[in-house]
Amino acid sequence: MNPLTINTYTVQLSGGGSTAIPDSISVSNNNQSVLLTAHALFPDNTQMTLAISGITDTAGNAVAPQTSSFTTGNGPDLVRPLAVSTNPVIETKTQQSEC
């Protein structure tokens, strides 16, 4: 993809009757991956649509317009992550003191 054609007009995320404009859009993986970071939390229980249109490759060929959608959950995820296992295994040793 031509990174000069990737912007808030060619990559849009919308849902809940409004368009969420990303704060930043970055390109990586030899211009094959796009990461967008939204400026606010998404609305609860809402179908969101990601649409791309107007992007070209580095030779100027148009990338086919695409849309994809997902539905948000109810509220922010407030559950703290928990490590189930580690590799290598971390061993803890207990010292006993004599009184």
pTM for the structure as a whole:
0.69
Q: How far apart are CA 41 and CA 48, in angstroms?
A: 12
SS3 96: coil
**pLDDT number for residue 55:** 94
Class of domain 1-99: mainly beta
Q: How far apart are CA 7 and CA 13, in angstroms?
A: 12
Residue type, 30: N
| CB-based burial label for 18 (10 Å; 0-12, 13-18, 19+) | exposed
| Domains of the chain by residue range | 1-99
Give per-residue pLDDT as tens, 27-86: 888 888 888 888 888 888 989 898 999 999 999 999 999 999 999 888 877 888 777 776
**pLDDT number for residue 80:** 81
**pLDDT number for residue 96:** 59
